[in-house]
Structure 1
């Protein structure tokens, strides 16, 4: 359970027992990312359910606020950084890495974050309006399986967070979480959208950026979450 506590500390702002983790223990905590996703999903779904007692838009807003607060906007920050770096990628690798390491957010990043929040708000409203609040528990879970595959098969962009995760994921970890995802998809087929979405993001990040980083993982999680929300909404309309 130490790995789960480390993952909770890293991915959320939730209180958790504090550990002095080595680099190896920190990297291994990635195996628990999907479990943390279930915790995040439960809080998001709970907030949406409470807010929906007023109306579906309030439910969407409370769910989105809980999503941002519980994660500390960690993945949104990665999305903004990747958007800014992508805008500079046409110049050279040195410029790309410089933009990624810059703590300031540029116009591309601001636009990407704003659009992401708007997309989630609208899609959350649609899900809550259709009574699919319980399915929200599984969206952050499914999105956090993808980084395990990216860490194993995509080269790290630089000697940073992405490089620390590389090699920590074992085949058994991939097998366990893939099996859980497929089992959940038996009841919620929309979850299968996470598979092509993860593959497409992995291909894009490898070709466009030249490798995966912590920002790449965070941005990918955000985009897969949105793709899953859209898939659930589309399924409700069918």
Structure 2
């Protein structure tokens, strides 16, 4: 159990974990159930950092929180967002062309625009609410990573040998339990938590539908794009409620 948690932490964040945990194929598969917990850990770290900046200008504090957010994740999902944006536009509705563009390490104009818009919206959402709301900082990362667990449980993974190939046989019951706990935590947070959960489900459903129509499933890049879209959608929803 501990090894699978460490695998999830090591993959989803830049927090240091022992390199030996990656040699355990079973731990890698079981790590999928820990994704929501890692998102909650990430949110707790961001909230703690935001609390330290509570007497700082909201604009400066928000920009620093976004900076630390990117640093903690190593821009993992931002990379997927950029690749997906380039591929979705450049692919012109063609499955094979879309998959080919996503494998290109270069970032095109659509990818750059997507990155700028997402980071700008995160910054603006955080800056528009006094004292950097703890619910938003906790729930946005958790729901984003819970969506990845849900994606692997409900949607075909179409990239054979891809980075997510080892997660396709994750223990279903443990993953479902993790998702149930995540949903319960949202409800426990009151109406704001329920709103965040509803927004996350809506974004998940729309993006999953788009991926099924274009690709017949999902890839690591589209999973990363999903995580970023849910994070920004939750932040914006809680900022404008």
TM-score of the superposition, structure 2-length normalised? 0.89
Q: Match for residue 12 of structure 1?
A: 13
What SS does structure 2 have at the residue aligned with 1:144? helix
Structure 1 residue ranges without an equivalent (≥5): none
Report how far residue 161 of structure 1 moved: 2.4
Structure 2 residue ranges without an equivalent (≥5): none
Report how far residue 174 of structure 1 moved: 1.4
Structure 1 residues 95 and 65: CA distance shift in structure 2, 3 A:
same
Asked if the contact 1:75–1:219 (Cα under 8 Å) also holds between the matched residues in 2, the reply is yes
Q: Match for residue 212 of structure 2?
A: 206
Q: Match for residue 194 of structure 2?
A: 189
Q: Match for residue 95 of structure 1?
A: 97
Q: Match for residue 45 of structure 1?
A: 47
Q: Match for residue 228 of structure 1?
A: 234
Asked if the contact 2:13–2:73 (Cα under 8 Å) also holds between the matched residues in 1, the reply is yes
Asked if the contact 2:195–2:238 (Cα under 8 Å) also holds between the matched residues in 1, the reply is yes
Q: Match for residue 156 of structure 1?
A: 157
Moved over 4 A (4+): none
What SS does structure 2 have at the residue aligned with 1:184? helix
More off after superposition, 138-147 vs 65-74? 138-147
- How many pairs were matched up? 234
Asked if the contact 2:95–2:214 (Cα under 8 Å) also holds between the matched residues in 1, the reply is no
Asked if the contact 2:83–2:107 (Cα under 8 Å) also holds between the matched residues in 1, the reply is yes
Matches within 5 A, 1:50-89: 50-89=52-91
- Quick one: distance in 2 between partners of 1:100 and 1:110? 14
What SS does structure 2 have at the residue aligned with 1:53? coil
Report how far residue 131 of structure 1 moved: 5.1
What SS does structure 2 have at the residue aligned with 1:145? helix
TM-score of the superposition, structure 1-length normalised? 0.90
Report how far residue 120 of structure 1 moved: 0.6
Asked if the contact 1:79–1:219 (Cα under 8 Å) also holds between the matched residues in 2, the reply is yes
Asked if the contact 2:36–2:182 (Cα under 8 Å) also holds between the matched residues in 1, the reply is no
Pairwise CA RMSD: 1.8
Deviation string 1:184-216 (CA, Å, 9 cap, x unpaired) is 323232222222222222112211333211111
